[in-house]
């Protein structure tokens, strides 16, 4: 249970971070750090839908020294919002600020992002040895849910701090407007899904509850048909009575007996009392207020 709980905690935290982009050799168009230099940089991306604090994590380019450069814990800016990215400059001096790593990037090396425990590698990114100047290596989402990010072979135009891939990608609604301008596809799919969901519900309840209940009721009703001593059903008894009456009784007798048989057969009369007792309050002498009045002295 503890293991599961720990896994859960990790899942909501730094394990959702990836190294999404890196630029090793900046050119004259690259972004400048706070000191006016065009340094190499790495970009971290939070692929979760919750905020992640990466303070206390480590960056390194040396597998044997995972604690090479620590990201300060006490800076509020280390909280990274959902689907947001942050750029850390690899200036070689981690003391320059929160977003500076204590090593420089070189083509052919691999960068590691290490958890705040100091030994769990969260993610890594290898920089190709022949990465051209001014180009970056990026990871792109391979799935619709944007959870599986894979590094791309071809060098990319740097996009520090921005979502990698197509910056002008259409929103779902825009994509729908293009692919289904009149709405028929969405309508057909949606109606089918609504019907399917409710039809499955109907089928399950019909199969497991409604049908068995009705069959049981039918069987019970069949078993409950009262039999006379000779095994003759009530219906036949009623028919026999009717025939006998037909020969000797009057119209009023027919009506009275038919009503009695009808009530009996339809379970409208019964010998079992409902079990309710109504207590009607009746006036007692104790409640008579006039008894409590005192006569005034004359």
Partner 1 sequence: MEHIFQSLSQFWEYTGFANCSWQNLVMIGIGLVFITLAIVKEWEPMLLVPIGFGMIVGNIPMFPGLNIGVYEDGSVLNTLYQGVKQGWYPPLIFLGIGAMTDFSALISQPRLILIGAAAQMGIFGAYLLALLFGFAPNEAGAIGIIGGADGPTAIFLSSKLAPDLMGAIAVSAYSYMALVPVIQKPIMLLLTSDKERRIKMPVPRTVSKREKIIFPIVGFLITAFIVPSGLPLLGMLFFGNLLKESGVTRRLANTASGPLIDVVTTLIGLTVGASTQADKFISFKSLLIFGLGLLSFVIATTCGVLFVKLMNLLIKNPAKKINPLIGNAGVSAVPDSARVSETVGREIDPTNHLLMHAMGPNVAGVIGSAVAAGILLSFLG
Q: Does 288 help bind partner 1 (rule: CB under 8 A)?
A: no
Burial tier of 288 (Cβ tally within 10 Å: 0-12, 13-18, 19+)? exposed
Q: Does 150 help bind partner 1 (rule: CB under 8 A)?
A: no
Binds partner 1 by CB under 8 A, chosen from 147, 206, 227, 260: 206
Binds partner 1 by CB under 8 A, chosen from 8, 118, 142, 202: 202
Q: Does 169 help bind partner 1 (rule: CB under 8 A)?
A: no
Task: Report the site for partner 1 in 23-62 (rule: CB under 8 A).
Answer: none
- Shortest separation between residue 269's beta carbon and partner 1, angstroms: 20
User: 182-221 burial, b if ≥16 CB within 10 A, otherwise e?
Assistant: eeeeeeeeeeeeeeeeeeeeeeeeeeeeeeeeeeeeeeee
How many residues are recorded in the chain? 298
Q: Does 263 help bind partner 1 (rule: CB under 8 A)?
A: no
Of 56-64, 124-132, 180-188, 267-275, the segment contacting partner 1 by CB under 8 A is 180-188
Q: Does 172 help bind partner 1 (rule: CB under 8 A)?
A: yes
Q: Does 296 help bind partner 1 (rule: CB under 8 A)?
A: no
Dist. CA 120–CA 197, nearest whole Å: 43
Nearer to partner 1, 73 or 218 (CB): 218
Cα separation of the two ends of the chain: 91
Residues in contact with 104: Cβ distance below 8 Å, sequence separation at least 6, in sequence order? 39, 40, 90, 91, 92
Q: Report helix angle 251-265 to 234-248, nearest 10.
A: 170
Binds partner 1 by CB under 8 A, chosen from 4, 76, 173, 247: 173
Q: Does 163 help bind partner 1 (rule: CB under 8 A)?
A: no
Binds partner 1 by CB under 8 A, chosen from 201, 240, 255, 263: 201
Nearer to partner 1, 171 or 282 (CB): 171
Alpha helical stretches, state H, the chain: 2-11, 172-179, 184-205, 211-223, 234-248, 251-265
| Positions in the binding site for partner 1 (CB under 8 A) | 171-173, 176-177, 180-184, 186-187, 189-191, 193-206, 209-210, 213-214, 217
């Amino acid at each position: 249970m503890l293991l599961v709980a720990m896994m859960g905690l990790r899942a909501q935290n730094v394990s959702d971070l990836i190294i999404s982009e890196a630029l090793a050799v900046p050119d004259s168009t690259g972004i400048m750090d706070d000191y006016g230099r065009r340094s190499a940089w790495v970009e971290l991306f939070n692929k979760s839908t919750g905020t992640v604090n990466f303070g206390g994590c480590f960056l390194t380019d040396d597998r044997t020294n995972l604690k090479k450069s620590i990201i300060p814990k006490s800076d509020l800016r280390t909280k990274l919002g959902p689907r947001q990215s942050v750029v850390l400059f690899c200036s070689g001096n981690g003391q320059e600020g929160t977003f500076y790593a204590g090593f420089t990037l070189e083509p052919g090396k691999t960068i590691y992002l290490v958890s705040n425990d100091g030994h769990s590698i969260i993610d890594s990114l290898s920089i190709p040895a022949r990465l051209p100047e001014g180009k970056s290596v990026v990871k792109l989402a391979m799935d619709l849910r944007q959870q599986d990010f894979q590094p791309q072979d071809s060098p990319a135009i740097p996009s520090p701090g921005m979502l990698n891939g197509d910056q002008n990608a259409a929103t779902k609604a825009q994509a729908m407007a293009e692919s289904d301008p009149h709405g028929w596809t969405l309508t057909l799919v949606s109606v089918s899904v609504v019907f399917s969901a409710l039809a499955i519900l109907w089928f399950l309840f019909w199969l497991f509850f409604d049908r068995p209940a009705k069959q049981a009721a039918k069987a019970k009703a069949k078993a409950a048909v009262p039999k006379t001593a000779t095994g003759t059903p009530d219906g036949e008894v009623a028919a026999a009575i009717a025939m006998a009456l037909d020969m000797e009784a009057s119209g009023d007798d027919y009506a009275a007996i038919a009503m009695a048989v009808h009530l009996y057969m339809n379970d409208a009369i019964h010998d079992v009392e409902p079990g309710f007792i109504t207590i009607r309050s009746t006036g007692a002498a104790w409640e008579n207020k006039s008894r409590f009045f005192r006569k005034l002295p004359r």
